[in-house]
Structure 1
Amino acid sequence: MTDRSSRRPRAPRGTLNRDRVLAAAVDLLDHAGPDAFTMRALAQRLGVGTMAVYSHFQGKDEIIDAVRDLLFAEVELPPADARRPPHAELRELCRAVYRLLSEHPSVLHLLATRPVQGDEGTLFAERALGLLRRAGLDGPAAARAYTAVMQYTVGAALWTARGRKVRAAQGCDDPAERLRSRFAGLPPDRYPCLTGLAPQLAAAQDGMPQYEHGLDALLTGLLGDPDGRG
């Protein structure tokens, strides 16, 4: 027998619209993951029947495309400025991508499963490669540098997103405290570095600041001294 108390409350008639559907889709993807995204699950999250969702979108693929466009529209790429050092502009570009992926890690899955129709990722890649060339790298070096920066950005964003998910599941809002508790029980004679550097390791689990620390080191190694980085 179905437990009626576990059902989501029904939405008032006439309140459903495309914006509400997309907001619920983003929430479902972020918290349940792409594999759990179905029209039925989305309808349940909205508190409506499945056919009510179809009155605004033709199907799952159309919703996913709209979600992807919506999320990419949130990325504020810095305006191109030939007077700025390439390092500074590239840093801003990477920060924008990191922020998007760390807040919405399902974007990677959406890009992998649904071909890009617009300029979302293409525009970023063109800008980044152009900046690397303007910084003095030749073609092969710019391609390798772009790949290295993107690998780091994607990995760091997924690390941050995973940490946030684990903390939510464990009911722990402080990643530093979680690490301190984990290392407190380790024998110092066997793990001298982990126990000795526990406070420093805990302090490094701070999202964007830690990402920027690694990004600056990577860009400096690739492009040299970042004068006027900003």
Structure 2
Amino acid sequence: MARPKKTQSSLSKQIIVEHALSLLDESGPKAISFRSLAEQLGVTAMAIKHHVGSKEQLFQDLVSLAFKDIAIEPATTSANEPLLMIMGRYCQRVVKHTNLLNEILINPTLIDEQLSQLNSLIIEQLQKAGVKGEKQLVVLGVIVDYTHGFAFSMAAIKQRTSRPENSLSIADYVQGLELLVKGLIAQST
């Protein structure tokens, strides 16, 4: 392996992953290559590979960064409020990183421990709301599908219009989720 250039001395895995996430958000997955990252960071492609390993590992690191601390239960006393807050926070991240979500949907092996814990946290909230047995997974699936669909809709609208009044917001998402959750829980208890 060649000796790193002097400009590479401040290069780290964290810097590469943060830059790659910004690039993915802006330009999509085709823009993510060791060569393009190296050009933008002023280093060699081998330096990028040295720090992040494989492209698969890079995408796993992107998921970890984008969804860091996502599965933390908020402290609240209201019955459905924790679920709405958890999913609102998740939707914000999904909207911000729609290209990454698409990669996760294409390659489910990118689902990391944090996202798995998020599913467990949602199930726990559904149990607290009185949803029992197999219905928990059905309700979980509906909530997750609604969230992903909403995020893709928000991204599509943002691409097609520069007028903020035509955009959806996280508040719109939470309002729709609240109606959805109330209806699902009423039918599942």
Q: Structure 1 stretches of 5 or more lacking a match?
A: 1-10, 177-201, 225-230
Answer whether contact 2:71 2:121 (CA < 8 A) is retained: no
Matched, 1:215 2:174: no
**How do residues 13-92 of structure 1 correspond to structure 2 at under 5 angstroms?**
13-75=8-70, 77-79=72-74, 84-92=77-85
Answer whether contact 1:132 1:142 (CA < 8 A) is retained: yes
Answer whether contact 2:38 2:48 (CA < 8 A) is retained: yes
**Would the alpha carbon gap of residues 35 and 51 (structure 1) be closer, same or farther in structure 2, given more than 3 Å must change?**
same
Name the larger-Rg structure. 1
**How do residues 1-230 of structure 1 correspond to structure 2 at under 5 angstroms?**
12-75=7-70, 77-79=72-74, 84-112=77-105, 113=107, 115-116=109-110, 118-167=112-161, 172=162, 174-176=163-165, 202=166, 205-224=167-186
User: What's 2:3 paired with?
Assistant: none
Q: Distance in 2 between matches of 1:98 and 1:125?
A: 14
Relative to the length of structure 1, the TM-score reads 0.69
In percent, how many aligned pairs have the same letter? 23
Residue identity matched to 1:95:
G
Residue identity matched to 1:52:
A
**Would the alpha carbon gap of residues 111 and 206 (structure 1) be closer, same or farther in structure 2, given more than 3 Å must change?**
closer
Shift of 1:26: 0.3
- SS of 2:67's equivalent in the other structure is helix
Q: Distance in 2 between matches of 1:80 and 1:129?
A: 17
Relative to the length of structure 2, the TM-score reads 0.82
- SS of 1:45's equivalent in the other structure is helix
**Would the alpha carbon gap of residues 124 and 166 (structure 1) be closer, same or farther in structure 2, given more than 3 Å must change?**
same
More helix by share: 2
Supply the RMSD in Å over aligned alpha carbons: 2.4
**Would the alpha carbon gap of residues 137 and 100 (structure 1) be closer, same or farther in structure 2, given more than 3 Å must change?**
same
Shift of 1:222: 2.0
Shift of 1:12: 4.2
Residue identity matched to 1:87:
N
Residue identity matched to 2:177:
L
Shift of 1:100: 1.0
**Would the alpha carbon gap of residues 71 and 206 (structure 1) be closer, same or farther in structure 2, given more than 3 Å must change?**
same
**Would the alpha carbon gap of residues 136 and 76 (structure 1) be closer, same or farther in structure 2, given more than 3 Å must change?**
closer
> After the TM superposition, which segments of 4 or more aligned residues of structure 1 sit over 3 Å from their partners?
none
Q: Distance in 1 between matches of 2:126 and 2:69?
A: 24
**Would the alpha carbon gap of residues 86 and 128 (structure 1) be closer, same or farther in structure 2, given more than 3 Å must change?**
farther
Structure 1, residues 162-201: CA drift from partner, whole Å, max 9, x if none?
Answer: 333344xxxx3x233xxxxxxxxxxxxxxxxxxxxxxxxx
Q: How many equivalent residue pairs?
A: 180
